[in-house]
Amino acid sequence: MQQRERQGSVDTTVGYEVPRASDRPPLALGETAADASLPGALHATVALGETLAAPLPEVAEGASAPRVTSTSTSVLPRVEAEGKGVRLVPTSGPRYRTVRSLGEGGMGEVALVEDRDIGRNVAMKRLRATFGQGPAVVARFVDEVRTIGNLEHPNIVPIHDVGVDESGRYFFVMKYVDGETLESIVTRLQAGDPRAIADHGITRRVEIFVGLLRALQYAHARGVVHRDVKPANVMIGRYGEVVLMDWGVARPIAKVGAHDDAQRMSPDEMRATPSRASETHAGALIGTPLYMSPEQAAGKNDELDARSDLYSACLVFHELLGLRHYRSSTSGSLGELLEAIRAQEPENVHTMFPAHPANPQGIPAELAHFCRRGLARDPAARWQSAEEMIAELEAILEGRCRVQCPVTFMKRSTREMGLFVDRRPRFAMGAAIVTALVVLGLIANALRDLIL
Classify 85 as helix, strand or coil: strand
Phi, psi at 244, each rounded to 5°: -85, 125
228 counts as catalytic: yes
Q: Quick check: 217 and 385 in contact, CB under 8 A?
A: yes
d(Cα 303, Cα 295) in Å, to the nearest integer? Answer: 7
Q: Which run of H or of E encompasses 113?
A: strand 108-115
Q: Quick check: 81 and 88 in contact, CB under 8 A?
A: no
d(Cα 50, Cα 228) in Å, to the nearest integer? Answer: 11
d(Cα 70, Cα 89) in Å, to the nearest integer? Answer: 22
230 is in an annotated binding site: no
Classify 425 as helix, strand or coil: helix
Q: Given 115, 143, 228, 309, which residue is catalytic?
A: 228
d(Cα 356, Cα 291) in Å, to the nearest integer? Answer: 22
DSSP alpha helix (H) spans, 155-266: 182-190, 194-199, 202-221
User: Which residues make Cβ contacts (< 8 Å) with residue 62, sequence separation at least 6?
Assistant: none
406-423 vs 365-374: helix crossing angle, rounded to 10: 120
| Bridge partner list, 103 | 110
Q: Quick check: 209 and 317 in contact, CB under 8 A?
A: yes
Q: Mind telling me the catalytic residues?
A: 228
| Binding annotation for ATP | 125
| Binding annotation | 125
